[in-house]
A and B are shown apart, each in its own frame.
Chain A
Amino acid sequence: MKALPNVDVLIVGGGWTGLTIAKELGSRTPLSVLVLERGPVHDPDDYPKEMDELDYAIRKHSGTKVQDCSKETATLRRSPSEQALPLRELGLLIPGTGVGGAGEHWGATAYRIMPDCFQVLSKTVEKYGTKRLPEDHSLKDWGITYDEMEPYYTRAEKMLGVSGKAGNIRGTIIPGGNIHEGWRSTEYPTPPTVTPYFASLFRDAAASLGYHPFPAPTATLSQAYTNPDGVSRPGCTYCGFCNMYGCMISAKAQPTGVLMPVIKKQRNVTIRTGAWVRRIVRDNSAKEARVRGVTYVDDMGEEVFQPADLVILATWTLNNTRLLLLSGIGEAYNPTTGKGAIGRNLTVDFKTPAARVLMEKPLNRFIGSAPTGIYVTDMEAGIINNTDLPFLRGGILRALNSGYQPIGTFGPVPKSIKNNWGSEWKKAAVYWYDRIEDIRWDGEGLAYRGNYMDLDPTYKDVHGDPLIRLTMDWRDNERQMADFGTKKGVEAARVMGAKEIIPYRGLGHFDANPYVVTQLRGGTIMGASPDDSVVNSFQQHFQASNLFILGSSVIPHAPSARPTLTIISMSIRVSDAIINRYVKSPGPLA
């Protein structure tokens, strides 16, 4: 096998988290930093040509923007008694590939996690006792607190240029913002994006129901902005080609627009594309457990050993977990004995179309940007009182104007139309096309002992390595909460003057078909002890102190908020810990 010269820091994966730490280490230290990315380079100058729903949102332009699942996918089963089958097409998950990763096509939702989520177990028990906890839960406190995270959230928001309206600045409550949010040290860098028609109807309805609606915080700029790194970007034009597309003017924060302009100037940072990492290599000669690099296959098919003093794994939830399992670094989780940590606490939040709303007037819903709209957080975990409710925790009710394209959204009709093809259906679907919109519920997903990842015994990737297997299903807590969200969504739709409301059918079983969320969480979770956690609170592997892990895989459960802003903030925190402490004195930080 070809062996290359050693580098100081090796980062596996060139998405949001890997490139964030590459930017921090590259611009603040003289360390040599190498990023290995298996996909290609993305050029935002190409993005105007990619405003094509068929190729990008429907066919998902496999292999260049999103992971080519003909080469590697995951398998899914809902219980150990079911045969796990491969996700043969991308649908449930849309992982990115290439420099920028899924950060190029993400939805730019940039909402902070509620403070008590970081201490989900102790805060829940404090309020409701242990009796309310589901029998097979595996909830745990994360090992960091919101107060510790606040400065990093602020730095991440400034770096991305998050647009929004603060509702709590150092304890001062500000009407019009999110009055339920955790304290913020400062206002958002830019004001909220414009609220389009449907979302404005929802806002008014929500206010009349006694809620406290506020504009969704977006990592899409409402106006031109220059961040602390000196990177300037223009405001959003609401063209609607947002989620599933790269933003052609970089109004949406994407790694190619926010991080690459800084990284490109750092001579100590190299990004090597076409490098498919297959193993992290253990250092068996060292007294303490350490890793000494990785092996990868380059795009010519050649196996390469890349040594490094420090390895940072930043390849997304499933790949982070899979690489540790394939490399045998740490102990695989066994759901029967409860022993082992790699793979446990696979969790996901759930997004439901709580109420499909048919309105009398046209909505012009092609106008928008993925996260633009209105949130209601009065039913968020820690805010709502669960005493008399059949579930724990909570979620967000929201109405967004994401900028809809027709292939993916054409077809819904009133319930009275029974066909989904033919003249009657066509007439109705054409009439209602621009009059239908969803009020959605984003619910918090708990962690359970039976939801986990391991290596699939049957299916393999293109190199012959086992695929990751997801064992995952909803429990009654999620199902009950989804029904509650539906009730609240229908209530709001009535106040909005809907002509007809189609309530969500219910959560049922975990399903491979509809898109849920790419940011599954867990698998390499953080915590206080190696008995039930893979990394410590500085995201450093318990069994190898020169291996750090970034991304949603370290998050032990699934708050209602999409995790991207949080994992970027956590990556800045890890960068600080490496620069201020680890580099000076390598070894365990906690």
Chain B
Amino acid sequence: MRRREFLTISAASLGGLLVYSLDGKAFRLSAEDTPIRIPLKFFSESEAGIVAAATERIFPSDETGPGAREAGVVIYIDRQLAGPWGRDQYRYTQGPFLTGAPDLGYQGKESPAEIYHEGLKQLQNFDRLSAEEQDAKLKEIESTHFFDLLRRNTIEGMFCDPMHGGNVDLVGWQMIGFPGPQVSYRDAVGKYFGEAYRPKPVSLKDGQPMEEQK
């Protein structure tokens, strides 16, 4: 069994928001809770620091809204890599592993978990670089399968249902105006032409939205 690793972050960097524990329970951090330790399922502490920094450069926090750090993207990716997707449980993994045209899809033998472990070796000490140096480093690996995965996973972590560990407090959905799983837009469809209709977002854990429809 692996040694239990923790991601140590200052609660202020999460803006005093929700995080999710290993068993999927949400707990709120307030800004006063100085350094907190979130248990990791897959990454080592140093790997988690690198992934947190890299995903923040891919999807930065800026004046248009929160980024990967506030959304908890690193926790999302950690949970995904520890789960069936990270282990390639549903991918066809019989050999031979031959190379072919890229448009025949990813043909490698390595699972997402293995691709991350390998890919992160190229980013040692990444979290200690300046923002400009970090961008230059990511530019170097931009065309790799690892980076493609990292970018895809960052978007997933920004906009997934919070039960997966990302999109903490629905920050991603609020930023783009996606309301999550809602009961009905029957009263809105055919209306609000040309104006933004923005119901308050809900997550699946907020309750079973369709119960009242039945």
User: Which residues from chain A sit less than 8 Å from chain B, CB to CB?
Assistant: 47-49, 51-54, 58-60, 62-63, 68-70, 73, 76, 78, 82-83, 85-89, 91-92, 194-197, 200, 234-241, 248-249, 361-362, 364, 366-368, 405-407, 410-411, 420-423, 426-427, 430-431, 433-434, 458-460, 509, 511-513
Contacts and interface: CB of A to CB of B under 8 A. Distances in A.
B105 A512 contact: yes
B153 to A, nearest CB: 10
Give chain A's interface secondary structure class: loop
B6 interface: no
A426 B190 contact: no
A138 to B, nearest CB: 24
Interface string B104-134: 1111000000000000000000000000000
Contacts of B164: 54
Contact of B176 (A76, A85, A361, A410): A410
A405 B104 contact: no
A178 B65 CA distance: 45
Nearest to A427: B64
A407 B194 contact: no
A248 B213 contact: yes
Interface stretch (B10-18, B25-33, B39-47, B53-61): B53-61
Contacts of A249: 210, 213-214
Contacts of A62: 89-90
Give chain B's interface secondary structure class: loop
B204 interface: yes
B93 A430 contact: no
7 contacts: A60-B90, A69-B91, A70-B91, A85-B100, A89-B105, A366-B185, A407-B156
- Chain B, interface size category, equals 35 or more
A434 B176 contact: yes
A76 B104 contact: yes
A401 to B, nearest CB: 8
Contacts of B106: 88-89
A427 B89 CA distance: 35
Nearest to B210: A48
B193 A88 contact: no
B35 interface: no
B1 interface: no
B210 A434 contact: no
Please provide the 10 A-B residue pairs with the shortest distance between their CB atoms, ordered closest to farther: A62-B90, A237-B184, A51-B181, A406-B159, A48-B210, A361-B194, A362-B196, A512-B105, A421-B58, A511-B103
A426 B155 contact: no
A406 B103 contact: no
